[in-house]
Structure 1
Amino acid sequence: MRHAFRLCALGLAFGLFAQPASATDPTRAFQDFPAEVLTDGFLEAHLDLFYRKAGTAADKRGDFAEARKQYQLAARYADKPSQARLGEIYWEGQGVQADHVMGFLWMALAAERGYDAFAARKMQYWNALTPDERKRAVTLDQKMLGEYGDAVAKPRQATVMRREALRGTGGLLGYSGASSLSITTARGGNIDPEVFYAKEFWEPEAYWQMQDYVWDGRSPGRVDIGEVQDLGKQPPSDAKPKDEHP
C-alpha cells in the first residue's frame, strides 16, 4: 500500500499550524484528507477528525466556546492539533477566561510526540509562566496525561477505528488492485478504493505513523479544502468532556 500512502501524505488533514505570534487563524489552521474520503462513515470511525472538524467549523464562526468543547472531545482521541488549539484558546482567553497554566498543559500534550511546531510553542509558553504558575502546572500534569495523553487516548481511538473497520469495510480493509470495485458517495461522487481503504487510514499503528510522517516536517505540502459539511449527525461518544479546571 505504499502508493496509497504517498497519495495520503500529499492530501492529509493533520495540518500545520501557521506560526504567527498571535492565535492561529482558524480558516487556515488545518490541512485535510482528500475531501472525497471524508464520508460520514469515515468520520464516525475517526472521532479525532470528526470532532476536530466540528471545532474548526465553530472556530470559523467565532464561537470559541463551542470550538473548545469540540476540540476537547477530539483531544480524548489523541488529536494533537486539537490539543494545540486548546492550548492557544486557553492562553489567549478566547471564549474562556485566560489561563496560562491550562494553555501550557494543553500545548505540552500536543508536543508529547516531539513535533517541532508544538514543542517550540510549549517552550514559549513555559518560559512565560510565573514561578507559581509553573508549580500549578506540575501539580496538574499527571491528571491531564491520565485523561488525554497518548497512553490512554490512542487506545481509545484505536478501539473506535477497529470496531468501525470491521463494521464498515469488512474484508476490504487494505484493499488493493480490484479495478472493478467502485465506491459511490451519497452525493454521486466516486472514491478511489485504494485510497479509502488504505491501511494507513484504518490500522491504528499505521495511522499514528502516518501522523508522525506529516508532523515531523517531512510532509511535502499542504492542501486546503472547502467548508466542513455533514456534521449534524453526532456519533456516539464513550464519554463527555470534563472540566479540567481544579
Structure 2
Amino acid sequence: MRNAWASAFLAGLVALPALAAPSTEEACRNLSSKPIPAEIMTAGFYGAHPDMRWRNAGLEAYKKRNYAKALRDFKRAANYADKFSQLMVAHMYWEGLGIAADHPLAYAWVDLAAERNYRSFVVHREAYWAQLDEQQRAEAVHRGQAVYARYSDSVTKPNLERELRLATRNMTGGRTGLVTGALYVTDVNGNDISGSVYYDPTYYRPEMYWCDQDAYWSRPMRSNVEVGPPQTASPEVDTR
C-alpha cells in the first residue's frame, strides 16, 4: 500500500507531453497535451533535457526497487526543476525508501514539489502536513529553507534553460536559425527524423517548455487521501 499512490505515475511518466505552437502566449492559452513522439526520444534529445533523462533513470530504478539509485536520480532531475521528481523524493523520504524515513524532510520536499500549485501536488502536501505533529511541523519549516535554497524554481529553472539554449545553438538549420521539414536528424539506428518534429520549439524554448509542463501537471486528477501515504489515480495519464 505504501507505494500505491505513485503507481499511476510510474506506468508512463517518462517524458512530458509537447505540442507545436507558433508563439508563447498562444501556447499558454491553447495547450492540448499530447505525448512527445517516441522517435525523437534519443540520447541526443535526453542530453538536451536532463530533467527527463534523470527522471526516467529514477523511474526505472524505482520499478526495480533499487531505491538508493532512484533517490539519487530523482534528486538529479530535481536540480533541473522537475516537479514530479521532487514529489518522488518526498515520497521516498516519507516511506524510508533508499534512506531512513524522515517525515519533516519529506514535507519540505513535497512543499517544494507543490511550489507551482499543481492541484494534485498540493493534495499530497496537505496530506503530509496533516500527519505531522507540532514539533515535526516546526522542523519541516526550518529544514525546508535549505531545500528551497538548493532546489526552488528560481535556482533550478536556469539550470535547465542553459541546457535548452545550448542545444538550440547546436541545431543544424538555416543561417537565420529556421528549421524546416527539409532538415532531418539521423538517430543512432540510422533512422531519419524530421527536423521540424525533433526541434519543435516547445521542446527548446524555455518559456514554452515551462508553459507546456504547467498545462500537463495542472490537469484535473482524481485524488483519494486515506490514512497513510496519499494516493493519486488519473485515468488521463499518458502511457509512452
Aligned equivalent of 1:30? 13
Give the match for residue 70 of structure 1: 73
Aligned-partner residue type, residue 30 of structure 1: L
Question: Do the aligned residues in 2 keep the contact of 1:36 with 1:190 (CA within 8 Å)?
Answer: no
> Is the CA contact (8 Å cut-off) linking 2:14 and 2:56 kept in structure 1?
no
Aligned with 1:216 (options 212, 215, 218):
218
Work out the number of aligned pairs and report it. 205
Q: Which residue of 2 aligns with 1:83?
A: 86
When the two chains are superposed, the root-mean-square deviation of aligned CA atoms in Å is 2.5
Contact 2:182 2:194 in 1 (8 A): no
Whether the aligned pair in 2 keeps the contact of 1:174 and 1:197 (CA below 8 Å) is: no
* Change beyond 3 A, Cα 1:222–1:196: farther
Deviation digits for residues 72-95 of structure 1 (CA, Å, limit 9, x no counterpart): 010011000100111111111112
Range with greater deviation from structure 2 (160-169 or 37-46): 160-169
1:114 equivalent to 2:117? Answer yes
Structure 1 gaps of 5+ residues are 1-19, 226-246
Mapped partners of 2:94, 2:49: distance in 1: 27
Return the alpha-carbon distance in structure 1 between the equivalents of residues 3 and 73 of structure 2. Answer: 24
- The residue matched to 1:82 in structure 2 has which SS? helix
Distance 1:37 1:143 in 2: 37
Return the match for 1:43 from 43, 46, 59: 46
Letter in structure 2 aligned against 1:193: G
Q: CA deviation at 1:170?
A: 6.0
Q: What one-letter code is carried by the residue in structure 1 that aligns with 2:11?
A: R
- 2:180 is equivalent to residue 197 of structure 1: no
Specify the code of the residue in structure 1 equivalent to 2:138: K
Deviates more, 1:37-46 or 1:178-187: 178-187
Kindly tell me: are residues 56 and 172 of structure 1, through their superposed partners in 2, closer, same or farther at Cα, counting changes over 3 Å? farther
SS at match of 1:191: strand
Query: What CA distance in whole angstroms lies between the structure 2 residues aligned with 1:198 and 1:119?
Result: 31
| Counterpart for residue 59 of structure 1 | 62
Query: Where does residue 189 of structure 2 map in the other structure?
Result: 187
* Other-structure match for 2:231: none
State the shift of 1:218 in Å.
7.0
Q: What amino acid does structure 2 have at the position aligned with 1:80?
A: K
Percentage of identical aligned residues: 35
Conserved 8 A contact 2:51-2:78:
yes
User: 1:92 — aligned with what?
Assistant: 95
Letter in 1 for 2:117: G
Residue type of the alignment partner of 1:186: V
> CA 1:169–1:60 in structure 2 vs 1: closer, same or farther (change >3 Å)?
farther
Give the equivalent residue in structure 2 for 1:236.
none
Matched, 1:126 2:129: yes
Deviation at 1:131, TM superposition (A): 0.7
Structure 1 residues 215 and 194, CA gap change in structure 2 (3 angstroms): same
Find the aligned partners of 2:197 and 2:164 in 1 and give their Cα distance.
16
CA distance in structure 2 between the partners assigned to 1:222 and 1:172 by the alignment: 40
Does structure 1 residue 147 correspond to structure 2 residue 150?
Answer: yes
